[in-house]
């Protein structure tokens, strides 16, 4: 939809009058999107929080600024090895804090670049972009976009290998702390397996779960229920809810879906599949494991991306 919207954000967004924006989402994980092709826009954490406020602003789980990689120090570093990464996804959480990556956000970011006429990406072709979680390659598919999220790794590899857990997680609605496994997808995640969907529904995520020990840079926490049976026709299925750093519970988390599949596949043991369907409150995303060119296992995330509105701040 390309209709003009006049939005009066909170006073903290003062100074952004006339700013053009779009609103988009990937399986309910929603974002305020801003194009900054000249790299001249400076938005403070307070302004970002005001724009993402669901009552006084536009509303969103985060803000994404599209800026040429050459205009950011982080982007310049990536361009040295990946000259095709012309555009950089400058992503901030809904509270204004910096974030390394967002899997759903990458799809929406590319969809936004296309909608704004900043790139041309026919179905079946790929685009390389820069993020603080490294360079990502995105393929346009008939149903949306598939993103090579790069290699995954355990945050505490010794514990993960020896005990298949590295921390305990407590949350309101769970009677006792649960064992968990921490996975990096360029940003940190801690995954908890639950036995039943009723237990997942009873878990309260209004406040952040307590993780002990917490990864060095904080963590997003995924609560996951494996399907019964776990695998059907070679595809694994899990259902997930997530509490994201700096945001709270969200309808979906792309990197979290990847981390959840990593953890459940690890717990399932030998013979676990490489293809997964991850059900989140906002829909379904696909996760696939494959061997990257450098010899490390990569994760591909696939799913839809939608632009719902465009407008100008008043």
| Active site residue ranges | 102, 253
**Residue 284 to residues 253, 278, 281, 290: CA-CA distances in angstroms?**
11, 6, 8, 20
Torsion of CA 56, 57, 63, 64, to 10 degrees: 180
Buried b (16+ CB within 10 A) or exposed e, 229-239: ebbeeeebbbb
β-strand partners of 42: none
Task: Please report the beta strands in 70-187, taking only residues with DSSP state E, as ranges in sequence order.
Answer: 87-93, 126-131, 134-141, 144-151, 153-154, 167-170, 178-184
The two beta strands, 188-193 and 220-232, are: parallel
Contact 269, 226 (CB under 8 A): no
Interatomic CA distance for residues 183 and 155, integer angstroms? 5
């Amino acid at each position: 939809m390309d209709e003009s919207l006049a939005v009066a954000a909170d006073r903290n967004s003062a100074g952004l009058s006339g700013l053009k924006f779009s609103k988009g989402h990937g399986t309910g994980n929603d974002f305020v999107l801003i194009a900054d092709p000249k790299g001249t826009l400076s938005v403070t954490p307070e302004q970002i929080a005001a724009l993402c406020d669901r009552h006084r602003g536009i509303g969103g789980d985060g803000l994404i600024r599209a800026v040429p990689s050459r205009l950011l120090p982080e982007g310049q570093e990536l361009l040295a090895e990946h000259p095709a990464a012309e555009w950089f996804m400058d992503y901030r959480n809904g509270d204004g804090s910096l974030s390394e990556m967002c899997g759903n956000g990458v799809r929406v970011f590319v969809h936004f670049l296309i909608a704004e006429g900043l790139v041309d990406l026919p179905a079946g072709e790929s685009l390389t972009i820069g993020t603080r979680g490294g360079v990502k390659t995105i393929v346009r598919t008939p149903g949306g976009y598939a993103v090579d999220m790069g290699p995954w790794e355990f945050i505490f590899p010794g514990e993960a290998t020896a005990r298949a857990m590295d921390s305990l997680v407590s949350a309101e609605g769970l009677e006792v702390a649960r064992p968990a496994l921490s996975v990096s997808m360029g940003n940190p995640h801690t995954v908890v397996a639950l036995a039943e969907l009723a237990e997942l529904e009873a878990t309260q995520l209004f406040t952040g779960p307590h993780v002990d020990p917490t990864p060095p840079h904080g963590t997003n926490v995924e609560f996951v229920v494996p399907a019964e049976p776990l695998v059907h026709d070679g595809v694994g299925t899990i259902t997930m809810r997530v509490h994201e750093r700096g945001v709270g519970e969200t309808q979906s988390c792309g990197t979290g879906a990847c981390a959840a599949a990593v953890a459940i596949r690890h717990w399932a043991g030998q013979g676990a599949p490489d293809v997964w369907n991850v059900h989140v409150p906002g829909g379904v995303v696909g996760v696939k494991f494959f061997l990257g060119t450098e010899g490390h296992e990569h994760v591909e995330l696939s799913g839809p991306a939608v632009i719902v509105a465009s407008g100008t701040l008043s």
